[in-house]
């Protein structure tokens, strides 16, 4: 019940979580880890975004900078050039668009172009980003990006034998060890450089010391080893690189951390430490992740961002090992208990490949669905995936048997060919036969003037109230099948808004907002259609007020189209 009661306010949209919401990944980049370059062209990206909406995505997450391990930072101007045309086009089609960026200039421009959500991979650690979202109404996603490993503590040896011989032998061993350490120093320097210790501070011009962003506690630098300069820590090892790589800006902590993550993946680091358990202790890891998410959410709230605009994301793959990612995913219920909408963004990540044995990122979708299912059962509300079509089918199948959930919806019915009233009654009977669906109420049948295309016969119109457990796009497919069975011509040669034996429009469904070419919810033309609003008065009190509350622009009766001219009888 706690999960069902959460809502997420994102600009003019409000998402409920009576079912999990699907966020489709749209990378407008040439170098993303699983689909780099496929949608780099703006037109290709827009087309793919619309196809994800038609496949079942509730949100489209548009990103113009890859944050894969070892990524190359992109300047804000180039990132904006990539994403803004895509954001603008998708928002125009009624999509809930999320902008995946860590640059405040890009976030501002995207929100002006219609984005409803800012997804900041650095968790709003930039005060300017906090200041911006506090002055807007967009939803925000706070993500944790950082190392969570606990520094290993070394314990001093205790001398129990106090005899003179033992003392002399111990001193000899210490001297030999010291000599070995001195001889090994160059090798240790190279190894430290390869592993890349996190910076604890960055030197700014003028000698000012800038603390690092809270992506994770830094590992301690051994006292016996001099401090490595900042530039040397973040730079790649020339000997290990096959080609020269651009060095990130000195203060680009995310890029430096993900470069370390890439090197950890490529290099095996031997250790003599043995573990008694398959996974590290969850308590210190979750203190860091949940502590950061809670602190950043409070920072946003204190800045003026309302709590119902905040979503949290533990950031799988961002500076974390496979073992740590599994620990975090197993603690999904604890993160959900914080009370914010919770995102599961594990799609095709390295740890998914590690647990499934799948090397290629694009082949990890089935394993991704399994991890997402575990997260949903533990309380995750939003699932960020690359394969929207496959996951929507997966989720619809699971939800149908796991979560009985009838919801109210309205279907408009119209006909102006053949026996109009008989066509409407036949459609009603066939709607009642749709799986997981029943007809709960019907308006009277009215006669109306033709709308949009006026040179045709008058229409018979009604509205049917139903209860259904189907997803909106699945229900729409069933309604279109009924149209075909009753003789509706949907071929390209058919005149738009012309004569038809039957027309079925899904007007509204409880808790659903949707954009795209195939389906828009609420139906964008409800507010101007008299032949819809008048029949709705038989089913609810003041439909104009109801739909205005749901964000629909409802016109005054004299400004509508398809005016009702008479009544043809009861359904």
What is the set of active-site residues?
A: 488, 500, 503, 505
CB 118 within 8 A of CB 133: yes
- CA gap 539, 463 in Å, rounded: 8
- CA gap 345, 278 in Å, rounded: 24
Pairing of the two strands 407-415 and 59-63: unpaired
Question: What's phi and psi for 133, nearest 5 deg?
Answer: -65, -25
CB 510 within 8 A of CB 546: no
Residue spans of beta strands (DSSP E) within 162-227:
201-203, 209-211
- CA gap 178, 195 in Å, rounded: 23
- Return the axis-axis angle of helices 42-55 and 388-402, rounded to nearest 10°: 10
Preceding amide of 522 cis, omega within 30:
yes
Per residue, the 3-state secondary structure of 239-266, as one string, reads: CCCCCCCCCCCCCCHHHHHHHHHHHHHH
Burial of 204 (0-12, 13-18, 19+ CB in 10 A): exposed
- CA gap 234, 458 in Å, rounded: 73
CB within 8 Å of 26: residues ≥ 6 apart: 39, 45, 48, 49, 52, 60, 61, 62, 63, 86
Any bridge partners for residue 60, and if so which? 24, 97
CA-closest candidate to residue 569, choices 417, 421, 414: 421
- Taken as a whole, the chain contains a residue count of 571
């Amino acid at each position: 019940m706690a999960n069902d009661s959460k809502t997420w306010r994102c600009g003019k949209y409000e998402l409920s979580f009576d079912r999990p919401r699907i966020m489709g990944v749209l990378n407008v980049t040439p170098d993303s880890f699983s689909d780099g370059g496929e949608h780099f062209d703006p037109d290709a990206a827009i087309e793919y975004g619309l196809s994800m909406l038609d496949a079942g995505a509730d949100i489209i997450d548009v990103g113009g900078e890859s944050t894969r391990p070892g990524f190359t930072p992109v300047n804000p101007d180039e990132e904006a050039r990539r994403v803004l045309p895509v954001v603008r086009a998708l928002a125009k089609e009624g999509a809930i668009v999320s902008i995946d960026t860590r640059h405040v200039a890009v976030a501002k421009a995207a929100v002006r172009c219609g984005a409803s959500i800012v997804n900041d991979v650095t968790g709003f650690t930039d005060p300017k980003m906090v200041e911006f979202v506090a002055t807007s109404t967009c939803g925000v996603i706070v993500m944790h990006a950082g190392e969570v490993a606990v520094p290993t503590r070394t314990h001093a040896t205790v001398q129990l034998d106090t005899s003179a011989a033992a003392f002399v032998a111990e001193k000899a061993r210490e001297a030999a060890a010291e000599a070995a350490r001195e001889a090994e120093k160059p090798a240790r320097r190279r190894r430290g450089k390869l592993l890349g210790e996190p910076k604890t501070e960055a030197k700014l011009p003028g000698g000012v010391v800038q603390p690092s962003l809270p992506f994770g506690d830094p590992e301690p630098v051994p006292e016996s080893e001099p401090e490595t300069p900042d530039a040397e820590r973040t730079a790649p090892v020339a000997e290990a690189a096959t080609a020269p790589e651009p060095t990130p800006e000195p203060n680009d902590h995310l890029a430096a951390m993900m470069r370390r993550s890439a090197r950890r993946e490529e290099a095996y680091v031997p250790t003599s430490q043995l573990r008694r358990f398959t996974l590290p202790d969850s308590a210190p890891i979750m203190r860091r992740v949940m502590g950061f998410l809670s602190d950043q959410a409070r920072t946003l709230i204190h800045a003026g961002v309302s709590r119902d605009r905040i979503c949290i994301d533990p950031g799988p793959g961002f500076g974390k090992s496979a073992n740590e990612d599994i620990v975090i995913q197993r603690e999904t219920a604890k993160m959900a208990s914080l009370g914010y909408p919770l995102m599961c963004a594990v799609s095709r990540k390295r740890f998914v490949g590690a647990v499934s044995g799948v090397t290629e990122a694009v082949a990890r979708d089935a394993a991704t669905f399994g991890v997402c299912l575990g997260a949903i059962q533990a309380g995750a509300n939003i699932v960020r995936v690359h394969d929207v079509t496959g996951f929507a089918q997966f989720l619809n199948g699971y939800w149908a048997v796991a979560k009985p959930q009838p919801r109210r919806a309205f279907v408009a019915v119209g006909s102006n060919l053949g026996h109009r009233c008989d066509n409407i009654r036949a459609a009603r009977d066939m709607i009642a036969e749709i799986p997981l669906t029943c007809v709960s109420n019907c308006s009277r049948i009215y006669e109306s003037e033709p709308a949009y295309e006026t040179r045709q016969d008058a229409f018979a119109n009604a509205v049917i109230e139903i209860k259904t457990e189907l997803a909106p796009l699945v229900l729409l497919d069933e309604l279109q099948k009924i149209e075909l069975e009753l003789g509706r011509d949907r071929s390209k040669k058919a005149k738009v808004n012309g004569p038809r034996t039957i027309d079925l429009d899904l007007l509204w469904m409880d808790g659903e907002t949707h954009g795209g070419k195939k389906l828009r919810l609420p139906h964008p033309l409800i507010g101007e259609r008299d032949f819809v609003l008048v029949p709705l008065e038989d089913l609810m009190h003041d439909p104009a007020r109801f739909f205005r509350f749901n964000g629909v622009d409802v016109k005054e009766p004299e400004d509508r189209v398809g005016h009702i001219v008479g009544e043809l009888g009861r359904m």
